[in-house]
Structure 1
């Protein structure tokens, strides 16, 4: 196939991919490369001819035949191979890339699987629902590129630089796109973390408001209880004032009763003295009645006969003597 293409390019300046199907028996093999444009193939073979290379590498063997050997390409070891070389079993959850100059760290397989899961729809092809979608498996990408993105001016601009410059340009664009993609990914993660933190903050705020509401309800209940207690205190104060008044009245009454008692005791004592006086006067009058010749003017109610003389009753009590028997002396 490569030899045919090389010979055909030497004969003509125009190469149509549809013409390839006339000479190729394996149609499916060619269709896999149908996205290759005519201009791209021409530039490819032209640049190879300028560098002095043929379309295929010819290697001689002992029998004198030739075989087509594809150009050796620099293959980058896969992650699985890197893990195997690092002594992993292929089932580890962490990819060790600490020796890699690009990454220089360990990468979790969960993160890799998550990226693959998220990107699967974008890197695949859809069905036949919408044939105008660039994700449709029937969308003619090469035809659109041929018609709209292969102008002579653009081709001349691209062809005016060498392969190395074009390769560097694609590397720069890819690196910058990678930088932008990683930035957007980290930005999305930060936004998700920020929203998550805001959600937690809102939850904490709602919880604080709920607690504050409970505290306010408890304070309102306490205020009601305080009002009730204040009312009870006012009532108790009224009762206390009433009791104080009653106490004052009772104390005054007690004093009055004490005075009355004292007066009653004094009156009782005076009544006894009065009765004694009346009895003494009766006895004196009766003695005068029986003894008309005797003088009873010297008789004294508050005196007693002591040692042959009339003395006060207090003096007898102090000296400790007793009353004089009337039969021992004169009356």
Structure 2
């Protein structure tokens, strides 16, 4: 890593090891990935403390005693001794390579499982999003319907207020007409054709009620 960083002058390219020309890998590997691999392996390649002496990772685990008691079979030693050194070395090569293959297999399987569960999680989230979109559309529709209903109720309220005013005026006009007919009955010689239910006497003149300033007083008297 130091050599490559020096060669690259400390640039960003020094963060990648180019193995594209290698027949084994044929790709680029991040230095951070290499560093992370070593960091994660420290606990497996080292020794633990004294908390659990039965652990094979304990620095006090009697590995040599285990070998002495359980791996000293005479027949096994004779078998191993019958082989030459090169054959034993090649056997260890094969065994190591097969372990490497098994380790790589388990690593890829773990990544596939992680990717699978993440994919399932993403699919679940997408389904939740679609469900929320449907609810939002439903709420928007209900909101529009409620707004239209509010407008309709406002119109009905205005119509009811207008109807109430008209009803009050009709009641007043009917009462006025009844009073006028009774006045004609008692005073048949008088003319009541100039009577108007919406006019008042103001300053000696018969005027519309709207033209009178009620707060001004004057001779406005509704009873007249």
TM-score, scaled to structure 2: 0.57
Per-residue deviation, 1:126: 0.7
Q: Deviations over 1:86-137 (max 9, x none)?
A: 9456882112233433333322111111111111111110111111111111
Q: Deviations over 1:21-47 (max 9, x none)?
A: xxxxxxxxxxxxxxxxxxxxxxxxxxx
Other-structure match for 2:118: 196
Distance 1:119 1:213 in 2: 49
Alignment partner of 1:103 is 2:25:
yes
Work out which of the residue numbers 134, 145, 150 in structure 1 matches 2:56.
134
State the superposition RMSD in angstroms: 3.0
Distance 1:135 1:111 in 2: 25
Distance 1:104 1:157 in 2: 40
**SS of 2:20's equivalent?**
coil
Distance 2:77 2:97 in 1: 23
Other-structure match for 2:106: 184
Per-residue deviation, 1:160: 2.0
Other-structure match for 1:145: 67
Runs (4+) of structure 1 exceeding 3 A deviation are 86-91, 98-101, 220-226
TM-score, scaled to structure 1: 0.40
Q: Which one has more relative contact order, counting CA pairs under 8 Å at least 6 apart? A: 1
- Equivalences for residues 31-42 of structure 1 within 5 A: none
**SS of 2:29's equivalent?**
strand
Per-residue deviation, 1:210: 1.2
Other-structure match for 1:119: 41
Q: Say which one has the larger Rg.
A: 1
Unaligned 5+ residue runs, structure 2?
A: 157-224
Distance 1:90 1:187 in 2: 36
Per-residue deviation, 1:225: 6.4
Aligned residue pairs, count: 151
- Equivalences for residues 231-310 of structure 1 within 5 A: none
Other-structure match for 2:76: 154
Work out which of the residue numbers 93, 106, 115 in structure 2 matches 1:171.
93
Aligned CA distance change for structure 1 residues 80 and 171 (closer, same or farther; 3 Å): farther
Q: Deviations over 1:26-82 (max 9, x none)?
A: xxxxxxxxxxxxxxxxxxxxxxxxxxxxxxxxxxxxxxxxxxxxxxxxxxxxx766x
Distance 1:204 1:193 in 2: 16
Unaligned 5+ residue runs, structure 1?
A: 1-78, 236-331
Distance 2:114 2:82 in 1: 46
